[in-house]
Structure formats: structure tokens, C-alpha cells
A and B are shown apart, each in its own frame.
Chain A
Amino acid sequence: MSEWWAGVVDTFERCFVNEGRYMLLVNGIGVTIKVSLLAMVIGVIIGFLIALCNLSDKKPLNVIGKVYTDVIRGTPSVTQLMIIYFVVFATINWSKWIIAAIAFGINSGAYVSEIIRAGIMSIDKGQTEAGRSLGLSAKQTMMLIIVPQAVKNIFPAFGNEFITLIKETAIVGYVGLMDIQKAGDFIKSATYQAFMPLVGTAIIYFVLIKILTVALGKYEKRLRRSEIR
């Protein structure tokens, strides 16, 4: 028993302690968070614009929105990431993580746009009519009346999308970024150990996402409170 335990401790040390390998994972967490956060911001901006295109009554805008969502949803995100990195930004010398975040933002934008579109459409038509009948412009009505109400409705779906996005970023190793997944993979190769580095990777993702889920749940409750009285 103690022999077995000694073996476990030894493997653990080889995987995570020796040569400061834990720092790979710590830095990896940083990379994952950086990429996810920036991608989320980009995704929300793109998603909102594409949602407006899809909801517009102008045909060309509809087409743009539809083609965008179609293409993004119809191709693997790894392929998109590699095209953005190796083709679109091939000659542009930006930080890797920023380019990766742009790729994930473009990807997430398609999904966010559908969430936002559904959220906006869930608001009663009477709200728009009331706004417009008061002389507010279409844009003012959207920003002051529809969007604030839609945000509450889409928040849960939006949280899900962010969680999906974080897990999606596990493919950034394909363009040479050392995120959590790549760090675990690197340790696996360096130590010839599969179990601990990979399970460790899984645990780190799980904890990150658990923390986020709890935080989102708390925030959602607070959002609802202002409405139910």
C-alpha cells in the first residue's frame, strides 16, 4: 500500500513539480482565460451586429447574416482557427492569443447572434409599438427598450455559450499556444505519463467552469430581482 502511494506521489512530483512543470498549467490557465474573455467580448459585438442583420427588414443585411451563421456553423472551429491564424493573419504580426481570440470570437458570434435574435424576438411587439408611438427612433427603441429587456431573457443561454466557448479554446494548441490543454499534453509527452496530466487538465477545466456557473447563477438571480416585485 505504502509502496503504491509512494509511486503515486512520485508520479505526481514528476508530472507537476519537477522542473516547475506546474507553472506550465498556471500559465495555461492564464492563456485560456485571456483568450476566452477577449473572444467573448468580440463574440458579443459580432453576435449583436449579426442579430441586427438577421432581424432587419433590408434584404442584403439578411443575406449577410444568414451566410455568416451558415458558414460558421457549417465548418469545424479548428478549421476556422487555422484559417484565421495561418491564412488571414499570416502576414500580420499580432500576439498569438489575440489572433486566436479573434478566431473564437468570430465563431462564437454566430451562436451569440442566434441567442440575441431569439431574445429580441421574445419581447412583445407592443413594446416596440409603444416606443415608436412615443416618437423614439427605431434605434432608440432597440437600445432603450428592447435590448435591456432581452438581456434578462438571454442571460442563461448566454452563460451556456460562454462555457462552451471556454471548452472550445482547448484547440488553440493547433496554432502553438500553450493553454491548459496544451500544457497537459506537453507534460504527458515530457514525462511519458498520460493519466495524471490529462486528468489534471480535466479537473482544472471543470473547476474553472464550476466557478463560472455559480457566479452566473448568482448574477442571474440579481437580474431577475429587479423585475419580480
Chain B
Amino acid sequence: MGKTIIKVNNLRKKFDNVEVLTGITEDIDEGEVVVVIGPSGSGKSTFLRCLNLLETPDGGEVIIDGDQINLPGTDVDRLRRKMGMVFQHFNLFPHLTVLENITLAPEKVNGLTAEEAKKKAMDLLERVGLTEKANEYPASLSGGQKQRIAIARALAMDPEIMLFDEPTSALDPEMVGEVLDVMKKLAKHGMTMVVVTHEMGFAREVGTRLLFIDEGKVLEKGTPNEVLNEPKQERTKAFLSKVLI
């Protein structure tokens, strides 16, 4: 394993008066695929969204590649460029074609020429197997295709870390596989990934480490084998007994 790339210290987050994260401390190394599981409302998505500051933590620190992201005065945009994010509901830009969705940020943020950005986008589309959709609008794609495009869009910024927020939860069952395949390939290429998911098969196969979050805390962690097959906490056992059928 490489150096620590994400460092989270005593992360806290409240929504109104409800404590969603009650103190999470976790280091994530380069090349790790950390899979975050837990019941809904446990705070796992909030944890992920705090990493790139889509949610502002109420306490603690999030350090990305040596820079604390939740400090006033930090260039958040610069740190966000190191992290690609994939959302449950894809969030493709409906007014842009697939190609434009992918080239937008590299052109506007990284200053690539239209030609460079297009070449890069076509390479990425090939990786996710959707070159023929380059000039279509998102509305004409299936859910699985949308999510693969969303992954390509995030990768176009050459991120060092990829964050996945329940990437397959909004998909029809027959489309889950195609998205997981893309993610598996990504993991194999050594991408650092933090994945919030309910796909235990993916967790087992690809995850280097599992975090079980409940009530805003990391209740249990370890290799997929340790957490899924030999859980120590009662709550983990109860949760797994419901999802591992």
C-alpha cells in the first residue's frame, strides 16, 4: 500500500439538531478500495460527501493529500479536482451531449483545448464501452449507460481518488453488472476508491477494506472477509443478516 491520501480526524456533522456523524477517524491509503456499508440513515453518504466538502463538516478535519479541505481559505476547487465523484442519480448535464458532459470540466478547469478534451473523452468512452453514444443526449440513455458516462466524466479530470455514492442503487437490476464491471476495472488499475454501496458481492470481490458505519460511527472495519464472514459487533451481524440473503 502507498502513502495515506485521505486522512479523516474525528469528523462530525449535524443536520439541524441531529448528529449524523459522531466522530469518524479513518486513514485511507493510495490504491485502497474502501467499501462503506451500513443501514440507511447511518451517515455513510454524509461521510463520503464530507470528503469533497459537498457537506461542510461541523467538526474534525478532512485532509486530502496533505491539504486540509475544511479550513477557511483552502482552495476547495483545486482539492476537488483530485477527487472524482459518482452519484446515485448520475447527475449528468441534460442540456449537453455525452461528449460535452465529459469535455466540459477538462476544458474549463484544466484548460485543455477542445481537441485534447475530445480525444480524452473518446478514450474514456471506449473504456466504458459507449463510444457510439458520444453525440447523444443523456435523456436517450439507459440508467446503466448514464452511470458509465458519469464515471467517464469524473475520470476525465484525472482524479487521484474516486468517490462512489451508491452508484448502483437507482439502477434496474439488469444494469447493475455493467456499472460494477467498470468499477472493478478501475480498481484493478490501482485507483483509490471510496465506495458507499449495498452491493456485498462487489465489496467482497473488490474491496481491500470494509467500513461498517452505524449511527454516525465506524462500528466495525477490516478486510471484506473479516467483516462479512466474522463480524464481531451485534449490530453488524444484524445488518448483514438482512442484506446477505
Contacts and interface: CB of A to CB of B under 8 A. Distances in A.
Interface in A182-229: 226-229
Contact of B104 (A127, A144, A226, A228): A144
Contacts of B92: 130
A133 B53 CA distance: 9
B77 interface: yes
Interface stretch (A18-26, A111-119, A135-143, A170-178): A135-143
- Do most interface residues of chain A lie in helix, strand or loop, or is the interface mixed? helix
Interface in A15-70: none
21 contacts: A124-B91, A126-B91, A131-B93, A132-B54, A132-B80, A133-B52, A133-B54, A133-B85, A134-B80, A134-B109, A134-B154, A134-B157, A135-B81, A136-B77, A137-B77, A140-B108, A140-B109, A152-B95, A227-B94, A227-B95, A227-B139
Contacts of A131: 93
Given A132-B77, A136-B109, 12 more contacts: A129-B54, A130-B150, A133-B154, A134-B80, A134-B105, A135-B77, A136-B108, A226-B137, A227-B95, A227-B139, A229-B139, A229-B140
Contacts of A130: 85, 87, 91-93, 150
Contacts of A149: 93-95
Contacts of A127: 91, 93
Contacts of B58: none
Interface of A: 124, 126-127, 129-137, 140, 144-145, 148-149, 152, 226-229
